Amino acid sequence: MSQKKKVCDYKPSLENIYFDHSASTHVCKEVLDAMMPYFYEDFGNPNSVHSYGQKAAAAVDSSRRKVADLLGVRPSEIYFTSGGTEAANWVMKGVPLTREKNEVVVSSIEHPSVLSPAKQLAQKGIKVNFLPVGKNGIVSVDSLKKVVSNKTALVSVMLANNEVGTIQPIKEMAKIAKQHNAYFYTDAVQAIGSIPVDIKDLGVDMLSLSGHKFYGPKGVGALYVRGGVRLEKLIAGGHQERTMRGGTTNVPLIIGFALALERAIKNQKENAARVKEMRDYFVKEIFAAVDHISYNGDRENRLPQNASVTFYFIEGESLLLTLDMAGIACSSGSACSSGSLEPSHVLVAMGQKPEEAHGSIRFSFGIHNSKEQIDRAVCVIKESVAKLREYSPLWHEFVRAGIDRPKRK
């Protein structure tokens, strides 16, 4: 880092820094403006027959067509949901299981919204195969070949991991699933808007996305279900979403979701280059400033915004709290697992020891982050890690023993 910037002279109260865009992004102004009329002017229920309802219904239909066009699929293949977790649960619990098709395959680094219902299926006697992952965070295609069979009803592998950002070989795995007449689902919540995604080219049967990952509103997402795929109803008791998901349609959020997706895909290349520049700058600076750290996941085959770093000999939660008090927001992993005291299942699956996984922090960058913010954050991180290690028995044991661990990975 340049000494001229004097980043250590920054006062935390002067500026708050947000490095947790994989957890959520803010709603952009254009999207917010598009949503507002449907809260108070065009507030009709789209399932009502009067003019208020029909105006709302037309707006929802237009948004569905827009989403479908952007994803290169048919409007009838798009179902609006409350987000990625709901969509994943719908798939895991909605794919019909029969005597002939009674096995499920999921990767060991899936989001909890896939792993939890998978474990519920296992408790009911359904055979669930968990695919291992390499140290680079990528699921092996060969591992799928070993467990998939004609009894497999569903294969679920996420397109891009939410913790370490690794991009999976979905196209190759979807082909293998099809050879055994198994449905293939991919959680693309982290990928949409960050990398180009061609659903038809991937060859998947189902794909989920969520608005708040690409500067849209929280509480709304979509599930692509290829025409001809059999899926049980998620919520019975209403005619919404072609009777598959009952409940009053959330018109404002759907409007915002569609516009945010349009903006994300239109600006994907430019935005990805921007956040990758920030991410790469951060990685360079943090490795120059702090010893005994590692960069988790594949160095190249990963999302442009993600930097998962393990700081050895400290607790990640302690570092998170220290950074938060300095006005710097980041994450220890998935926001959906933030209440758990367990080490990251993703990092453990990649071969890290539990005590090492506990020292991992996910930094995820957005289009408004700057190098000046990164300079300040690196300075605070360096000082914070040094202080936390002074209180760490593991650090002092390491110093006394002179363990020959590489300074950086």
Domain 29-266: assigned CATH number? 3.40.640.10
Give the pLDDT confidence score for residue 397 in this predicted structure. Answer: 82
β-bridge mates for residue 408, sequence order: 293
> Position 9: which residue type?
D
| Residue-range domain boundaries for the chain | 3-19+268-398, 29-266
Ranges of residues in the chain with a pLDDT under 50 are 1-14, 334-337, 404, 406
Give the pLDDT confidence score for residue 186 in this predicted structure. Answer: 98
Give the pLDDT confidence score for residue 102 in this predicted structure. Answer: 95
Which string of b and e fits 155-188 if b means at least 16 CB within 10 Å? bbbbbbbbbbbbbbebeebbebbeebebbbbbbb
pTM: 0.92
Give the pLDDT confidence score for residue 339 in this predicted structure. Answer: 52
Give the pLDDT confidence score for residue 10 in this predicted structure. Answer: 38
Where would I find the H helices in 157-241? 170-179, 199-202
Residues 157-215 pLDDT 10s:
999 999 999 999 999 999 999 999 999 999 999 999 999 999 999 999 999 999 999 99
Measured CA to CA, the distance from residue 214 to residue 365 in angstroms comes to 12
Cα dihedral 210/215/216/222 (nearest 10):
-20
Measured CA to CA, the distance from residue 28 to residue 169 in angstroms comes to 32
Q: Which of 341, 335, 290, 288 is nearest to 315 (CA)?
A: 341
β-bridge mates for residue 208, sequence order: 187, 223
Intra-chain end-to-end CA distance of the chain, in Å: 19
> Position 347: which residue type?
L
Six token digits for residue 164: 């370490």
Give the pLDDT confidence score for residue 7 in this predicted structure. Answer: 39
Residue 244 contacts residue 231 (beta carbons within 8 Å)? yes
Six token digits for residue 158: 């996420």
Cα dihedral 195/324/286/373 (nearest 10):
70
Give the pLDDT confidence score for residue 13 in this predicted structure. Answer: 39
Domain 3-19+268-398 has CATH 1.10.1040.10: no
Query: Could you please report the per-residue DSSP string of 358-395?
Result: TTEEEEE--TT--HHHHHHHHHHHHHHHHHHHHT-HHH
Residues tagged active-site: 336
Return the biggest CA–CA distance within the chain.
Answer: 78
List the 360-364 sheet strands across, edge first.
293-296, 306-311, 360-364
